[in-house]
Chains A and B, each alone.
Chain A
Amino acid sequence: MSKKYDVIVIGAGNGGLGAAVTCAKAGLKTLLLEKHNLPGGSASSFVRGRFEFEPSLHELAGVGNPEDPGAIDQMFRRFGADVDWIRHASTFRLVVPAKEGDKDTFISEDGVEVTVDARMPAGFEPFAKKLEELVPGSYDSCMAAFDLATRMYSALDKLEKPLEIPSILKDVPDFMRITGHTINEVLDALGMPKKAQDIFNTYWCYMGVPGSIFDYLYYSLVLHSYVKAGTGIPTLRSHEMSLAVDKKIRDYGGDIWYNSEVTKVIMKNGKPAGVVVNGEKEVYASHFICNSHPNITWSELFEEKEVPKKQLKMLNARKVACTLTTVYLGMNKTKEELGFKDYSVFIAPDSDSDKQFEDCQNLFNGFCIINCLNEINSNASPEGTSQLFLTTMSFGDVMKDVRPQDYKKFKNKIAEHMINVCEKALNISIKPYIEEIEIAVPATFCRYLNTPYGTPYGYMLEKWDSIIPRTIQYIQDQPFDNFLFCGASQERGDGYGCAYYSGEKAATLTIKAIKEGK
């Protein structure tokens, strides 16, 4: 029998890194196994020519201020991980180009006929004031929505502790009322005008479910965390976060093996007891934390008969979340020369999040987020250049008709489509100045993340499968008492912060179990 560890963490995505660093810091003998040669999963970077691209991070909520660090900054301080944050104090700009037959159109500052052009500041008061300016009569409801979110934060903390759930009723009386209601239902009750709701809902895509499905409580917390103190990014792309945590895992005495794919979980007495690495090497441990997507974990690492029945049922009940397509552009012009004024612009075919969601059932849609890293990171690319990345989302098997020989043309076709959407909505010229381009479609995400459809988001946060029941039922949803999942498939869904949180949580439960001798 090979070396025995206390904990083996399968996969060094954000969740796995958070789990491994927490275990190693607590003094557990920890082994982190990763199939790729780098840590981070989505949190990485890549170099093309003279550009280093950010693969996935738009911004992190919860970075906060140096004096008042947000949840993520606090977590990295807990880990002791050294990340140099760039803090950023605006949220988003939403642009909805006019379609034929649209009423209430106007000409945007870029000279494009639009129905919405909303550049939203950070801070509750400034955000609500801007919303009032754009949609008169929306200020009070917007402030009420933020107020509700502020109160819900304490409820979410209590949800983690089963014994404290009853006290939620006393301390946060509106919690029961809000629970299970969608964004649209609650904002309607608060009397927010429809157009203001649409702007308010812009971040729906960060979690992949629209206003008619998205649980209000969770969305309000998401928006709250972005608007409250502004957001942040690591200075050296998200690769900096991943390497900072990698370093701490080693400093605390943990082992990390890259290019080391878990190809099988070894079962003993009906419970996981070890893993096979790259089909040849066996390593044993008493506990496991799995950052691999459950669909892949159960189909690739276990025999079907070894999988607890409930886990198989869960796979069939849950809907795989959205997939992304991203175009990375190294531009041989500065952002000023290109005419960029914002870090993050959401271009949508319609202001209504449900109509955007519907549009995103196809890959070739009118939805695109365009980010210009140079806007908040002045060293994002060499002098005289800039880098952009364009993101759209889609649902389901959008590559179903693509054969290997069509792959390159398919990638170029979707990239050109997305660039056209941005050029038209912002009245700018991108194509002549492309010095480097890379295109990531769902198959690309599949290659690096090893998830069904290439989703980075885990499972869709449907009404019945929202954060509240997921959180309360976390323990009963885990497959074995010594094998816990972490990552985007878990209770808080996708997002760097959520994944790190889930890893830290799984590690905390594992540390407790080991200390109690379980």
Chain B
Amino acid sequence: MASKIKSVKTNKFIPLLSGRQKKFEGEMARLPEMPDQAFVLAKALHPKKQFLKVAEVIERAEDCKSFVLVPDEEKGTKSLAYFGAGKYLTVFEEVEGMKITRAYSISSKPKDSLEGRYMLTIKRVDGGLMSNYILDTWEVGRSVTVSAPEGHFEYQPLRDAKNVICLAGGSGITPFISMAGAVIDGDEDFNMTLIYGSRNRENILFYDELEEINKNGKVNVVHVLSDDDAEGFEKGFITAELIKKYAPDNEPYSIFICGPQAMYEFLDKEIAKLGLPKKYVRHEMFGEFRNPASQADYPSDVPETVSITVTIQDETTTVTGSTNDTVLQILEKNGIAAPARCRSGECGFCHSHLLEGKVYVPKALEYRRLADFKFGCIHPCCSFPLTDLVINVPVAK
């Protein structure tokens, strides 16, 4: 067998070496052609930041406004990143010397972004730093910086059932307004039933828009009022019984939920009664976790305040903060900008190194990777300090 190899001619080694350099020599000394479409798409769909201007402010309710945002060409944003209905934008602001971020679902439909319009709809939260700041200061003409569209709360035809029951509470209606628009435009193809829980008729956000959506026939809108008994409205809370009433009888259906933390706690028990496979129940994140000490697995003897020594690139600072705040909040309250997107543990954008000390992470917000545990990495947005800490955090972006 070894002799068979002798039939291969030994004439290629030298030409291979000289040929390669000759090939280089024969080429033009200039940068190659324009970038390819994969490259162009990656940049267009995932810009580092988007610089926008408030073009219009719409009063939705006493404590809720919608802001129409358009590109701020002077600052370099020429067009808006397209998105799948259900995604959110992270808003960057500086409030009282603190550089903070919050994630808000986009309430406009995807098609509007091609015409240079996003809409964010923001409700005042009691004691909410960002929401109060935005509602008090954003007016027409103001500059606003946001992230690229982010998040995974979207209809996925290969995973979800063709029938989707969307459950919204309060300002949790915002991603569903976008989804309904996408269904009507034909950008999404599923049978959408929207069950929207509000306290009373006056509290319903987007009432007129939802009437229009309902009339179109592609989306079925059901209002549920907890405090009012009015004709044409369901009364009470969103329960398993109510979901069954609007769900198809003999076909699979998915449930999408978006609302406040309290609504999830109630609804999770109701949905459990329906016996749906896990894949058919999808939650949007509800924002920052509060009051960690109320959790059953929170340890005892935690000091009230701790110090955190943080290194970002080549700068090291030591700050103090409350153990009732997340590591991210403590940094922000001390005027240190830190990377953040979802602020709910899920996206991992704030991934950092914990070099010394201990943190508490609520179970529901535990989205770290397996190797993160082995090598001491944390998501500061959902990590509450239990001791003094030494951490290494990527620079804010």
Q: Which A residues are closer than 8 A to B by beta carbons?
A: 2-3, 37-38, 45-50, 52, 140-141, 143-144, 147-148, 174, 176-181, 185-186, 189-191, 234, 236-237, 239-240, 242-244, 246-247, 250, 255, 257-260, 277-278, 281, 295, 298-299, 304, 307, 309-310, 312-317, 323, 332, 397-402, 404-405, 407-408, 412, 415-416, 419, 431, 433-437, 441-447, 452-454, 464-466, 468-469, 472-473, 476
Interface mask (B85-117 → A, CB under 8 Å = 1, otherwise 0) = 000000000000000000000000011001000
Q: Which of B27, B152, B159, B368 contacts A313 (CB 8 A)?
A: B27
Q: How far is the CA of A47 from the CA of B373 in the complex (A)?
A: 14
Contacts of B262 in A (CB 8 A): none
Q: Which of A2, A50, A189, A435 contacts B159 (CB 8 A)?
A: A435
Q: 8 additional contacts, CB 8 Å, given A447-B42, A468-B13? A: A177-B10, A179-B12, A243-B377, A259-B396, A277-B313, A407-B45, A433-B279, A469-B16
Q: Which residue of B lies closest to A405 (CB)?
A: B82
Q: Which of A186, A189, A408, A433 contacts B84 (CB 8 A)?
A: A408
Stretch at the interface among B33-41, B56-64, B322-330: B33-41
* B339–A259 touching, CB < 8 Å: yes
Q: A48-B152, A52-B369, A332-B277 are in contact. Are A399 and B37 (CB under 8 A)?
A: yes
Query: Does B81 interact with chain A (Cβ within 8 Å)?
Result: yes
Q: Which B residues are closer than 8 A to A by beta carbons?
A: 1-2, 4-10, 12-13, 15-17, 19-21, 23-32, 35-39, 41-42, 44-46, 81-82, 84, 110-111, 114, 152, 154, 156-159, 187, 277-279, 313-314, 339, 346, 348-351, 353, 367-372, 374-375, 377, 394-397
Main secondary structure of the interface of B (DSSP, over half): loop
* A179–B13 touching, CB < 8 Å: yes
Contacts of A310 in B (CB 8 A): 24, 29
Contacts of B37 in A (CB 8 A): 397, 399-402, 443
* B375–A176 touching, CB < 8 Å: no
Q: Which residue of A lies closest to B13 (CB)?
A: A179
Q: A316-B28, A453-B36 are in contact. Are A236 and B369 (CB under 8 A)?
A: yes
Q: How far is the CA of A242 from the CA of B371 in the complex (A)?
A: 9
Contacts of A2 in B (CB 8 A): 314
Main secondary structure of the interface of A (DSSP, over half): helix
Contacts of B15 in A (CB 8 A): 180
* B12–A180 touching, CB < 8 Å: yes
Shortest distance in angstroms between B169's beta carbon and chain A's nearest beta carbon? 22
* B12–A189 touching, CB < 8 Å: no
Q: How far is the CA of A315 from the CA of B26 in the complex (A)?
A: 12
* B5–A236 touching, CB < 8 Å: no
* B8–A3 touching, CB < 8 Å: no
Q: How far is the CA of A277 from the CA of B372 in the complex (A)?
A: 26
Q: A179-B13, A465-B20 are in contact. Are A259 and B370 (CB under 8 A)?
A: no
Q: Which 6 A-B pairs have the closest CB atoms?
A: A180-B12, A258-B394, A404-B82, A435-B279, A446-B42, A259-B394
* B313–A52 touching, CB < 8 Å: no
Which has the most chain B C-beta neighbours within 10 Å: A304, A445, A464, A476?
A464
* B41–A443 touching, CB < 8 Å: yes
Q: Which residue of B lies closest to A382 (CB)?
A: B278
* B4–A412 touching, CB < 8 Å: no
Q: A48-B152, A177-B5, A243-B374 are in contact. Are A434 and B279 (CB under 8 A)?
A: yes
Q: Which residue of B lies closest to A436 (CB)?
A: B159
Q: Which of A312, A323, A443, A446 contacts B31 (CB 8 A)?
A: A312
